[in-house]
């Protein structure tokens, strides 16, 4: 059975976040020169200044509040294409749930009015 390698890339969206990620990597003994990648290509668009990191860095960022709108994470499985990866507890799911709840409330109100 073959194992597929997953590659994780982090793109900081501001200078402060970039410094925090560099500090995190340096604290774990990973120099920024070892983990920095010049650029990656996602759907024909070149994205510059990303870090190639291991999954534990992603998990640590997920547990912290650093990831809220300040970084983008990309993932490549094996030799496949690079895709944007979303954190599991992202606000997008909460917004979708809120939209569904609002829609259901409107439907209930309509049903009550029609009685």
* pLDDT over threshold 70, residue 68: no
* pLDDT over threshold 70, residue 34: no
Residue 45 pairs with which residues in a beta bridge?
A: 42
Residue pLDDT, tens place only, 91-115: 555 666 777 788 888 888 888 888 7
Task: Output the pTM of the full model.
Answer: 0.64
Question: What's the confidence (pLDDT) of residue 49?
Answer: 79
């Amino acid at each position: 059975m073959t194992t597929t390698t997953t590659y994780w890339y982090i793109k900081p969206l501001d200078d402060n976040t970039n410094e925090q990620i560099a500090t995190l990597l340096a604290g774990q003994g990973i120099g920024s020169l070892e983990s920095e990648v010049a650029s990656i290509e996602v759907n024909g668009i070149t994205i510059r200044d990303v870090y190639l990191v291991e999954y534990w860095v992603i998990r640590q960022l997920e547990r912290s509040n650093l990831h809220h709108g300040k970084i983008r994470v990309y993932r490549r499985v094996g030799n496949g294409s690079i895709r944007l990866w979303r954190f599991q507890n992202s606000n997008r799911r909460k917004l979708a749930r809120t939209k569904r709840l609002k829609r259901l409330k409107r439907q209930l109100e309509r049903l009550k009015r029609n009685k």
